[in-house]
Amino acid sequence: MLPISVKLTNKKCIVVGGGKVAYRRTKTLLEEGAQITIISPELLPELRLFVEQGRVKWLARTFDDGDCMGAFLVIAATNRRAVNARVGMDCQRNQLINIADDPENSNFYFPAIGRKGALSIAVSTEGASPVLAKTIRDQVMEQFDDGFEQYMIFAKEARELILSLGFTEERKRELLKEIVDQQYIHLEAQQQFLAHLKIRFVH
């Protein structure tokens, strides 16, 4: 499978189920700005809170054929395998579908995600072992302390300046490679590099 990052802002998403798995998936989708409808007769208190806050829409009933129509992404997360399978069959080929208890018939998986500012690390085992994915994610994220968030801000600003100035293509590549050097983890080195670029910008 091809790992990609997908923008979900204002995308219609359906979550079928009202338990712990549905809560975790809903929370993740909310963080990405999705428009979410939950279909379930009952909800965990945490999911009810999302409804009360107006962050998600709730259809307080069981799943019906046709409920997936028009959705960009669908999650089947009930505790009934037959219902989850029915949700999967209701989806069209062009829809993203994740069936919590059936990785083989899902066409995408939720990776274990770690974030430090603009840096996102995603680890997936394609549904084979979510626990292993989380373990690997945690091991990787240990390499980045809180100062890395500032470094990401620097890297973005530096890249934009490098690309906006009149450097040759070869010099741009050299500078873009330079800013990933370990020395630029330190704030003083970041400030010196940006000051040098800005002097070039002024002149």
Confidence class for position 202, pLDDT limits 50, 70, 90: low
CATH superfamily entry for domain 12-110: NAD(P)-binding Rossmann-like Domain (3.40.50.720)
Say if residue 143's pLDDT is above 80.
Answer: yes
CATH class of the domain defined by 147-202: mainly alpha
Give the relative orientation of helices 20-31 and 45-52 as an angle to the nearest 10 degrees: 40
Asked whether the beta carbons of 87 and 62 are under 8 A apart, the reply is no
What's the confidence (pLDDT) of residue 23?
A: 98
User: What is the separation of C-alpha 146 from the centre of its chain, rounded to a whole number of angstroms?
Assistant: 20
What pTM, to 2 d.p., does this model score?
0.77
Query: What is the C-alpha radius of gyration for the chain, rounded to an integer number of angstroms?
Result: 22
Tell how strand 96-99 and strand 73-76 pair up: parallel
> Considering only 20-29, 84-93, 190-199, which range has the smallest mean pLDDT?
190-199
Say if residue 190's pLDDT is above 70.
Answer: yes
